[in-house]
Structure 1
């Protein structure tokens, strides 16, 4: 599950790209690209990976994904079955920090948007009243002419930037704060963990993925992510546990072992530390 550098097709006649997807399932390799991505899920559900965050996605969800942040919207398994009559539909806007000019987002009138775009390096989920406004604006953008699209695009960013309750998803920024070499190491570790978190992961093994000694890896990871590798791994595992709690008919012990924990007491303790809930309380609070 190596993060792939994805090329967003864009013509010379547009400064940003509005893309409407309607397919059997979404593009499912883990990938990243230099463009920011604002996506509204119109129809579909599954598991999303954004940075080091795992969660579910469904129709009506809106995400802002920063540049070079590894991500994927992976549909549930029934979307890959033949004759399922399911569709994966979304509207996305792809743009760069200088799509409208190198200093456009540094103007006094747009500096508040610049702050939003910097925050997007961790991935953002847009919720509540802001989400409703953004859905309304994004559903209409494809119908507009070029100038209308530009005005609508700026309106969308303006609306989001005034929301002070945005949910940052990834605890790690994969953007320009890393050198190219560091980014590759972090991405390699990320892909290894996403692929193997349900199994035992030894520190020596993950250090070798980064081509570092164990001591050097621990120092490297803590310096660049501001957390230990064990903290990172536990957050990935508990993120998956939350999804299983809400979407699968499994008991807590089964979920514990499916997420890579081998001790129910340790699982419950980590779940409470990370979510502030016990698994039972989390299910009660978040069930529809």
Structure 2
């Protein structure tokens, strides 16, 4: 997916910006920006696309998005319903790395920091105790101004530079083509798939949205996502299936149908290929081990 270049609003002379957003749903177009972004999901659920990585997001997640890394956090369908009262809330810290690179980041003592910044270009999911510590530091940043805010960013960077609780999201070989000439086309396809993945949508349907032949669309899609159309669609469907199974709204067969599969055997096979678990194993795993501490997130919303 070719992303939109996104300009972060900032005041003159500001190298670190803290932004709290509360809206019906997150910005829904794939985009990128030169600033490094640390994003806290305070309240929201959906599917995240970071580089060539696809996964679910929910309240309490913290993600680091490196400079010029294409991404979008697409909320679940229920956020787009006309009568929905749901809110998508997040705290983001945007860091203008150019303000530091020629001096601070080039110091010999910044070796670990340089490695962290390099890894951030793949997108990082912060986990465990590190997540709790970063959450508290980010909440404090909302009240800090000037140089105190810069010091807080450096404290967070230092913590992340030495943490072993960071999951790299995008593949090491991902290299986005940032030509913006066909932004509208690829985002139209992206939105079509996200709005219709639970239906029986075919390759030809997506090709028609892009106004391309099927063969040309296959080449185009693989070039810009590093996935086939079928892989992309299955990852979205299985990601949604995982969410439904965790929420315990439907049984496995009903979940498969809800996610666009009319063949339970094919659903089971795709689920195993993508998650490394059968649907039954996944349900048992999350019934016994799925816990999450949202106390810090609740504080962020006060």
TM above 0.5, one fold?
A: yes
Look up the match of 1:271.
271
Aligned match of 1:166: 166
| Alignment-derived partner of residue 260 in structure 1 | 260
Distance 1:115 1:261, change over 3 A: farther
Deviations 1:72-122 (A, max 9, x none): 3637858989897x8765421013442435676455444544443444444
Aligned to 1:232: 232
Q: Indicate if the aligned counterparts of 1:50 and 1:170 stay in contact, CA closer than 8 A.
A: no
Residue 189 of structure 1, CA deviation: 3.3
Contact preservation (8 Å) 1:16, 1:99 = no
Q: Any gaps of 5 or more consecutive residues in structure 1?
A: none
Name which structure has the greater RCO, CA cutoff 8 Å, separation 6+.
2
CA offset at residue 176 of structure 1?
4.6
Change (3 A) 1:106 1:185: farther
> Aligned residue for 1:70?
71
By how many angstroms is 1:148 displaced? 1.5
Is the 1:27–1:74 Cα contact (8 Å) retained in structure 2?
yes
Greater Cα shift, 96-105 or 201-210: 96-105
| Counterparts of residues 203-218 of structure 1 (less than 5 Å) | 203-218=203-218
When the two chains are superposed, the root-mean-square deviation of aligned CA atoms in Å is: 3.5
Shift of 1:251: 1.1
> CA, structure 1 residues 171+232, in 2 after alignment: closer, same or farther (shift >3 Å)?
farther
Q: What TM-score results when the alignment is normalised by the length of structure 1?
A: 0.80
Partner of 1:55: 56
More off after superposition, 213-222 vs 177-186: 177-186
Q: CA deviation at 1:143?
A: 2.9
Within-5 A mapping of 1:1-288: 6-21=6-21, 23=22, 25=24, 27=26, 29-30=28-29, 32-34=31-33, 35-42=35-42, 44-51=43-50, 53-58=54-59, 60-66=60-66, 67=68, 69-72=70-73, 74=75, 77=78, 89-101=89-101, 105-169=105-169, 176-181=176-181, 186-287=186-287, 288=290
> Aligned residue for 2:295?
none
Q: CA deviation at 1:170?
A: 5.0
The worse-fitting range, judged by mean Cα deviation, of 145-154 and 103-112 is 103-112
**Helix, strand or coil: the match of 2:93?**
strand
CA distance in 1, matches of 2:184, 2:108: 36
Pair 78,267 (structure 1): closer, same or farther in 2 beyond 3 Å: closer
Normalising by structure 2, what TM-score? 0.77
Secondary structure of the corresponding residue to residue 155 of structure 1:
helix
SS at match of 2:45: strand
Cα deviations across residues 211-240 of structure 1 (Å, max 9, x unaligned)?
Answer: 443223323333444332211211111111
Contiguous gaps of at least 5 residues in structure 2 = 291-302
Aligned length: 283
Does the CA contact (< 8 Å) of 1:39 and 1:90 recur in 2?
A: yes
